Amino acid sequence: MPLSRQRRFPRSLVSVGAARGFALITLTEWGITDRRHDVRLCVSELATNALLHGVPPGREFSLRLVADGSLLRVEVRDSGGGRVGVRHCGADECGGRGLRLVKALSDDFGVTPHVPGKTVWLTFKTDLSGDEAQ
């Protein structure tokens, strides 16, 4: 039976760290340690993008983690209309590389549109034995 945990976060900068902490605590409780650094970075990027581009004032975003066998799914859902796309940035640009990094670290990546909003999701192949893979 899959494990699932979800939490909502307000439109606030402190929510990025709170989402990251929620993900790490959840992974630790589930015994998933081999991809925790990748997951932590990706949750940070997706939560930041939700706040900057997807969550309207007065609204929240949600983070959902689902572990099913050796597959971990990470979902960030918001109710905004921002478009999701991997950008190709020049060397002198300060931002715009987050989704490229997320796509490189995860095993799969996608966007599911909703009315309103969207869910940006990632999957990671994990070792549920809890062994650190380095």
Q: Where do the structural domains in the chain lie, given as residue ranges?
A: 3-125
Give pLDDT tens digits for 73-113.
999 999 987 666 555 555 555 455 578 889 999 999 999 99
CA angle centred on 80, ends 52 and 63, rounded to 5°: 75
Whether the CB-CB separation of 51 and 105 falls below 8 Å is answered with: no
Where helices occur in 2-109 by DSSP H, the ranges are 14-30, 36-49, 98-105
In the numeric block, the tokens 């990470």 are attached to 74
What confidence score (pLDDT) does residue 1 get? Answer: 86
Under CATH, to which class is 3-125 assigned? alpha beta
Whether the CB-CB separation of 121 and 46 falls below 8 Å is answered with: no
